Amino acid sequence: MAKHLFFVFSDAVDGEDAAYHDWYERHIDDILALPGFTAAQRFARHDLEGRPADHGHLVLYELDGEPAEVLAGLRTAVAEGKLERPDPGCVAPGLRSFVYTPIGERQLGRDG
């Protein structure tokens, strides 16, 4: 079955970077305990001149299974109180998420 990628873009509340990072580390552990979430990695934006980004942080989750079913399980866990929502004290409003599915084989460069 093809792996799907779930991108979650977010930002810390101003002045709450440490709390944001602490919360996200716990949150990722909780998410990875859910069926269909097989891996996660956090990223910080690398600013390039003339190329602004909307968000400062990204979590990239790998999904195994039908994305709609995997994300339905996430919503159920939140509704049942088994998974906490983003903490508004440290996670800024405007979080965005998207699922992408590979449409071609992974290719490596000569140094890859």
* Cα 62 to Cα 99: distance, rounded to the nearest angstrom: 10
- Asked if residues 62 and 3 have their Cβ atoms less than 8 Å apart, the reply is yes
Beta strands in the chain (DSSP E): 3-10, 37-44, 57-64, 96-100
CA dihedral 28, 43, 14, 24 (to 10 degrees): 10
16-61 pLDDT, tens digit per residue, is 999 999 999 999 999 999 999 999 999 998 877 777 678 899 999 9
pLDDT of 14 reads 93
- Report DSSP letters for 59-72, one per residue: EEEEEES-HHHHHH
pLDDT of 1 reads 44
pLDDT of 21 reads 94
Phi, psi of 101 (to 5 degrees): -120, 135
- Asked if residues 86 and 95 have their Cβ atoms less than 8 Å apart, the reply is yes
pLDDT of 19 reads 95
* Cα 19 to Cα 12: distance, rounded to the nearest angstrom: 8
pLDDT of 2 reads 54
Calculate the average pLDDT of the chain. Answer: 91
58-105 pLDDT, tens digit per residue, is 999 999 999 999 999 999 999 999 998 888 999 999 999 999 999 998
- Asked if residues 30 and 83 have their Cβ atoms less than 8 Å apart, the reply is yes
